[in-house]
């Protein structure tokens, strides 16, 4: 499969960060893929603690770590000098080094030379693989759910991860598919969809969720939103290439305008549903909205239940905060949509949950 692929298990590198806010990638990995995280390495005694065993590079290598994953963003953008001895040590013992946002590894001469000499990869998850084709539009076997949004940064990745986990817990076959940098770190593979040349965005989305068993679900991390003045092209391309059977709209309660584009009012959830159905039907006429995921962190605790039940009443769809629970009604819908193991579709399974 022509996507980025990482080599687990990992040593999570935390630099000299003291606040988890700046170690989101590391924290995401520790939360969602703890079984792949052998340990953490901070350069300072007061560094962020993800709850993983503290390890040196040598200890991690001895324990079997195959990659050092940079779990934090550097402020300036490049690779800080203070990080270099650790990264070079990792390379020297044969570990791959993986970077997400704000750190370009291959352009660092010393690191690049060391990696080349040691024969190990430097993996920049922002760089798409080569050879991505134009989308064919052809329907692929298997089921797909895409998270879409009313804006950027409303919980599309988190929602996809939470739904994927909940689906597996009730016995559905599900796989999280990552379309962004942190998601790719967590999934161990994926496609940095916003970095793909426009002609090939939908083709990249097709590669990201290839044909699979009829009852298998890909739960695909969405990007941007269809009404975004800057990023709608990304959202459009990802939607058409994903060919989702189901989608979940992600929204932040209380947000009224596109974040960073304050002249642009947010579309309502039902407007986003209508636009997503209209566009998504081009490659999958059966597309339907199955729920709404709400980041309720701006609401007082006492307001949350009322907000969600009002929204649920208005839309006639399960509405939930993914930090709390993925509702069984959503899982029942997805189970009902899942073809039976025989390969036949079966609404009949609905009551088996």
232 contributes a contact to a copy of itself by CB under 8 A: yes
278 contributes a contact to a copy of itself by CB under 8 A: yes
- Candidates 113, 198, 211, 286: give the one binding a copy of itself (CB under 8 A): 198
Tokens representing 298 are 């701006």
At 28, which helix (H) or strand (E)?
helix 24-32
Candidate segments 52-60, 103-111, 191-199, 300-308, binder of a copy of itself by CB under 8 A: 191-199
Q: What is the DSSP letter of 135?
A: P
We find the least distance from the C-beta atom of residue 68 to a copy of itself, in angstroms, to be 27
Cα angle: 226, vertex 231, 233; to 5 degrees: 65
Candidate segments 73-81, 231-239, 335-343, 344-352, binder of a copy of itself by CB under 8 A: 231-239
201 contributes a contact to a copy of itself by CB under 8 A: yes
We find the least distance from the C-beta atom of residue 223 to a copy of itself, in angstroms, to be 9
283 contributes a contact to a copy of itself by CB under 8 A: yes
264 contributes a contact to a copy of itself by CB under 8 A: yes
- Candidates 161, 196, 220, 287: give the one binding a copy of itself (CB under 8 A): 196
101 contributes a contact to a copy of itself by CB under 8 A: no
236 contributes a contact to a copy of itself by CB under 8 A: yes
Binding mask 238-257 for a copy of itself (x = CB under 8 A): --x-----------------
Strands (E), 223-287: 246-252, 257-258, 261-265
Candidate segments 72-80, 117-125, 190-198, 307-315, binder of a copy of itself by CB under 8 A: 190-198
- Candidates 34, 229, 306, 343: give the one binding a copy of itself (CB under 8 A): 229
Cα(115)–Cα(2) distance, integer angstroms: 22
153 contributes a contact to a copy of itself by CB under 8 A: no
- In the bound state with a copy of itself, the residue whose beta carbon lies nearer, of 94 and 229, is 229
230 contributes a contact to a copy of itself by CB under 8 A: yes
Cβ neighbours of residue 291 under 8 Å, at least 6 residues apart? 248, 249, 317, 318, 319, 320, 327, 329, 330, 333
We find the least distance from the C-beta atom of residue 206 to a copy of itself, in angstroms, to be 10
- Candidates 54, 197, 211, 340: give the one binding a copy of itself (CB under 8 A): 197
Cα(68)–Cα(73) distance, integer angstroms: 14
Are the beta carbons of 91 and 97 closer than 8 angstroms? yes
- Candidates 203, 222, 291, 318: give the one binding a copy of itself (CB under 8 A): 203
Cα(184)–Cα(126) distance, integer angstroms: 9
- In the bound state with a copy of itself, the residue whose beta carbon lies nearer, of 120 and 239, is 239
We find the least distance from the C-beta atom of residue 231 to a copy of itself, in angstroms, to be 7
CA distances from residue 199 to 3, 12, 70, 104, 237 in whole angstroms, order as listed: 17, 35, 31, 25, 9
Is 285 exposed, middle or buried, given 0-12, 13-18 or 19+ CB atoms closer than 10 A?
exposed
67 contributes a contact to a copy of itself by CB under 8 A: no
Is 3 exposed, middle or buried, given 0-12, 13-18 or 19+ CB atoms closer than 10 A?
buried
- In the bound state with a copy of itself, the residue whose beta carbon lies nearer, of 128 and 142, is 128
Are the beta carbons of 39 and 118 closer than 8 angstroms? no
Dihedrals phi, psi of 338, to nearest 5 degrees = -75, 125
Per rule CB under 8 A, count of chain residues that contact a copy of itself? 34
Cα(260)–Cα(49) distance, integer angstroms: 31
Give the binding site for a copy of itself (CB under 8 A): 134-138, 193-199, 201-203, 226-227, 229-234, 236-237, 240, 261, 263-264, 275, 278-279, 282-283
């Amino acid at each position: 499969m022509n996507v980025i692929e990482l080599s687990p298990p990992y040593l999570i590198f935390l630099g000299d960060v003291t606040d988890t806010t700046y170690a989101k990638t590391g924290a995401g990995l520790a939360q969602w893929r703890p079984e792949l995280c052998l340990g953490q390495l901070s350069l300072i005694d007061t560094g962020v603690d993800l709850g993983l065993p503290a390890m040196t590079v040598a200890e991690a290598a001895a324990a079997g770590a195959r990659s050092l994953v940079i779990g934090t963003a550097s402020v300036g953008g490049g690779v800080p000098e203070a990080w270099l001895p650790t990264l070079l040590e990792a390379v020297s013992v044969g570990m791959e080094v993986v970077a997400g946002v704000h750190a370009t590894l291959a352009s660092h001469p010393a690191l690049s030379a060391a990696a080349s000499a040691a024969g190990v990869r430097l993996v920049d998850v922002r760089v798409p693989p080569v050879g991505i084709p134009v989308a064919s539009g052809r329907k692929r076997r298997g089921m797909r759910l895409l998270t879409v949004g009313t804006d950027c940064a409303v919980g599309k990745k988190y929602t996809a991860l939470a739904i994927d986990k909940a689906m597996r817990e009730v016995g559905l076959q599900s796989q999280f598919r990552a379309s962004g940098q942190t998601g790719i770190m967590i999934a161990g593979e994926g496609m940095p969809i916003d970095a793909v040349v426009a002609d090939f965005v939908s083709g990249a989305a097709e590669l990201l969720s290839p044909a699979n068993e009829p009852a298998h679900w890909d739960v695909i991390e969405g990007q941007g939103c269809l009404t975004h003045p800057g990023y709608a092209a990304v959202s459009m391309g990802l939607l058409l290439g994903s060919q989702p059977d189901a989608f979940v709209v992600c929204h932040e309660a209380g947000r009224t305008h596109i974040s960073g584009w304050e002249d642009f009012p947010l579309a309502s959830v039902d407007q986003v549903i209508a636009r997503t159905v209209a566009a998504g039907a081009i490659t999958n006429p059966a597309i339907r909205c199955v729920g709404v995921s709400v980041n309720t962190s701006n609401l007082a605790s006492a307001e949350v239940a009322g907000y969600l039940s009002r929204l649920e009443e208005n839309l006639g769809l399960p509405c939930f905060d993914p930090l709390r629970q993925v509702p069984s009604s959503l899982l029942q819908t997805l189970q009902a949509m899942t073809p039976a193991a025989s390969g036949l579709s079966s609404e009949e399974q609905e009551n088996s949950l």
